[in-house]
Amino acid sequence: MRTPAFVRVLEGEARVYRRVWRGSVISTFLNPVLFLAAMGLGLGRLVDERTAGVGLDGLTYLAFLAPGLLAATAMQTGAGDSSWPVMAGIKWRKTYDAVLATPVGVASLTVGHLAWVGIRLVFVSVAFVLVMAAFGAVGLAAGLTAVPAAVLTGLAFAAPMVAYTAGLKGEQGLTSMFRFGIVPLFLFSGTFFPVSQLPDWLEPLAWVTPLWHGVELSRSTALGTVPVPPPWLSVAYLASWTVGGTWLAVVRMRRRLVT
């Protein structure tokens, strides 16, 4: 049976990662340790003393925070792996031109890249859950059930980010996207506090962000809380961003790379 072309792209990404994985593994475990130690234990102790779980579904702040950070980390990983590396393949290193000189087409190139991002998201999410369990935020088995939600959240950002990057002439647009897009979402989409605490005019904006759905889905899965939107709605919403973003990414990559 002939191997699908996107698998060849996936294999190429894996071969490259085999030589650089040590550097990323350190940050994969170190980042959740620092976040949970500083925000979950440090700030969390003060929050617990003042609120006693009020407004947090009776949870400690560490337990409330950890699944939200899991989803937010998946967002950052998906967006990061689909921005500068894609720009490098298009403009700086031009490796995508070399790939397209083979029988691999634009659609296979795009899907292969996103498939690799999905595998990376699994690694990052599992590592985060291991740290969560070590901190006592959730049980290991319960935390692992939130991994699919985190991966879907990451892909919901990765696919549109590929499409966005394919339309850029330079890297300045990537810096602006992270500064004015990813960072505000990280802060105001329910990761650190319930969006019900936002001003009334701002709360509906949080509801339409993919990260809010990812946070609600991850938190309800890992902790058994009742999410605001039905879980099926969050899954469908995140899947629509992934599928729609993939389609748009293929269109824009073809426009950028095929002359």
pLDDT tens-digit series, residues 11-28: 888 888 888 777 777 778
- The Cβ-side half-sphere exposure at 118, using a 13 Å CA radius, reads 15
For residue 189, give both structure tokens: 């989409």
What is the structure's pLDDT at 96? 93
For residue 143, give both structure tokens: 């935390």
What is the structure's pLDDT at 47? 77
What is the structure's pLDDT at 142? 93
What is the C-alpha to C-alpha distance for residues 195 and 215, in angstroms, rounded to an integer? 11
Across the chain, what does the average pLDDT equal?
90
Q: Please give the DSSP secondary-structure letter assigned to residue 179.
A: I
Q: Percentage of the chain surpassing pLDDT 70? A: 97
What is the C-alpha to C-alpha distance for residues 119 and 117, in angstroms, rounded to an integer? 5
What is the C-alpha to C-alpha distance for residues 67 and 225, in angstroms, rounded to an integer? 11
Per-residue pLDDT, averaged over 19-39, amounts to 81
pTM: 0.92
Per-residue pLDDT, averaged over 66-91, amounts to 94
Residue 242 burial by Cβ neighbours in a 10 Å radius (0-12, 13-18, 19+):
buried
What is the structure's pLDDT at 198? 87
Q: What is the pLDDT of residues 179-188, one digit of tens each?
A: 999 999 999 9
- Listed in sequence order, the DSSP H helices in 36-60 are 44-51
Euclidean distance between the first and the last CA atom of the chain, given in angstroms as a whole number = 32
Residues in the chain: 259
What is the C-alpha to C-alpha distance for residues 75 and 178, in angstroms, rounded to an integer? 11
